[in-house]
Chain A
Amino acid sequence: MIVDSHMHLGMSAVTPCVDPSIEAVLAQMDHLGIDVSISVGGSSQIFGRPEAGFETALEAYRLSGGRILSCAYFNPHYAEEDVERARRQLEHEAFVGIKIVGSLTECYADDERWHPAWRLASEWGVPLVVHSWWVSDYNPRQRYHTPDQFERYVRAYPEVNMILGHAGGRYEGHRAAAKLARSYPNVYMDLSGDSYSFGLVEWLVEQAGADRILFGSDLFMIDARTVMGRVLDADISLEAKRLILGENAVRLFRLM
């Protein structure tokens, strides 16, 4: 099974999108042989229309015959409201994880206000997908979620599997992500986004093991082919590619 474990339903004014429709996502999945996609925060969920996002996620699940799944989204500034909504969402089979983003909510990853999200992931036995990156001079908000900041929670919640979205984003971030994954068995990472360094896939497999790495795109923004080609042609074993392209996601998100 091939799983795109990191995409977003919807669109954003910030990044023009050719076609944000569910039909276009499905057509591209079919074209590339992707069986299941996981929307880790539809744009409505992330940008402040959580109920509209909930409906979009359910509609995508129905329209796709269960092939497009979703994560609940938690904003720490609306903790009570979002925990309540996440519970409602996780009761539905369309929802398989929880997503959090530090930069958009301007809250550091090690801040105490993230506890409810981790508790919820623990309680429901679902993975927590986090945005991760490294300090960036041209995008300073990336400082809110360098991989090392998650250590506090990774240690406090050993039963919660955390997936570092974008695997730390840039060179030093990849190093920090690999270091965290080597130290804690509940740390995973995905290849989504524009982290296109030559040799990255092979390096991560060697550092953290193929069983910790997940294929992901970053649709509706970034085209999945830029990531899939790098996995298919990587100098790693076929077994490793199978794990990365889907089997890890199946295990973590309990997809059947």
Chain B
Amino acid sequence: MMSEKYVSPDAQARVERLVAEYREQKKALRFLDSNLWVGRPMQPGFCLRWDLEALLGYMDRYAIEGGIVTHSAAAMEDPYATNEELLDWIADQERLWGGLVVTSELPPGYSTWGDYLDRAISRKARLVRLFPASHRFSLERWCSGALLDALHERRMLLAVWHIETGWNAIKMLCDTYPDLPILVEGRPQKIVYHNRFFYPLLERYPNLHLELHNLNVYLGIEDMVGRFGAEHLVFGSCLPFNDPNTAQMMVTAARIGDSAKRQIAHGNLQNLLDGVMVP
């Protein structure tokens, strides 16, 4: 179907140069990804392979060196059975860490959150995802205090979607659990319309981080790094739901210093991973 007659040789040569430069820049930044998924979702979009082997292939192809992966079924099905399956899958994968889904209810067979989390951390879990709206619980202490205290003690990463929590709850988490690293992801809605919420929060809370896969504010990356520093931004792709280049070029072509780029691409997440208390 391609009508290459439309393309001038000059235009094509220029694009080839831009492609080569961009791919080199991606490789140099050694992306570490906070938001990878494995296991087939109910609505897969254009991607039809969701197994672990496929994910590792995508990571190689898109220059993502490692990351935290979550099971696509965990937020819908039995989260605890699904988390176990995930931790089995990644046990021998040096490049992958586990992202768990939990609710405010203690997992069956456990009498404390500490026991559950310590065992999961020893099996390479590093992050927990909460969906308070979909799973119908409150993040307030009367409902989730025991869980959040246990996460806080272990400095485990907590990922939330803004539409699942609301920004007031995110502020409460930042206030109440100052050592808990909180990662806000713009899924399924971009957070381009939410600057007025998160700018005042980024100013106040060092433990608040924004993940990049849908952080598509025009000139936002330069503005936020300028105001709040690069520490708050963490690379995440939402692969294989989303195209990782969405977030990758925001970093490779950011008009910020090289060290800030490296922090966002991998350094910040590496520090958060290193901060998790391993039993």
Chain A residues proximal to chain B, CB less than 8 Å: 10-14, 16, 20, 43-44, 46-50, 52, 75, 77-78, 104-106
Contacts and interface: CB of A to CB of B under 8 A. Distances in A.
B88 to A, nearest CB: 12
Given A47-B42, A105-B43, A13 B48 contact: no
Interface string B34-55: 0000011111100010000000
22 contacts: A12-B76, A12-B77, A12-B78, A13-B75, A13-B135, A14-B134, A16-B105, A16-B136, A20-B78, A46-B42, A47-B73, A47-B77, A48-B73, A48-B76, A48-B77, A49-B77, A77-B43, A77-B48, A78-B48, A104-B43, A106-B42, A106-B43
Contacts of A48: 39-42, 72-73, 76-77
B49 to A, nearest CB: 10
Contacts of B43: 77, 104-106
Given A48-B76, A52-B85, A78 B135 contact: no
Dominant secondary structure of chain B at its interface with chain A = loop
B82 A49 contact: yes
A78 B41 CA distance: 10
B121 interface: no
From B42, B81, B131, name the one whose CB has the most chain A CB atoms within 10 angstroms.
Answer: B42
Interface residues of B, number: 25
B44 A14 contact: no
B51 to A, nearest CB: 11
B78 A11 contact: yes
B103 interface: yes
Contacts of A104: 42-43
Given A48-B41, A49-B85, 4 more contacts: A13-B77, A13-B79, A48-B42, A48-B72
Interface of B: 39-44, 48, 72-79, 81-82, 85, 101, 103, 105, 131, 134-136
B144 to A, nearest CB: 14
A46 B82 CA distance: 13
Contacts of A11: 77-78
Contact of B42 (A10, A44, A75): A75
Nearest to B135: A13
A181 to B, nearest CB: 28
Contact of A14 (B40, B72, B135): B135
From A14, A50, A75, name the one whose CB has the most chain B CB atoms within 10 angstroms.
Answer: A14
Given A44-B77, A48-B73, A13 B42 contact: no
A43 B78 contact: yes
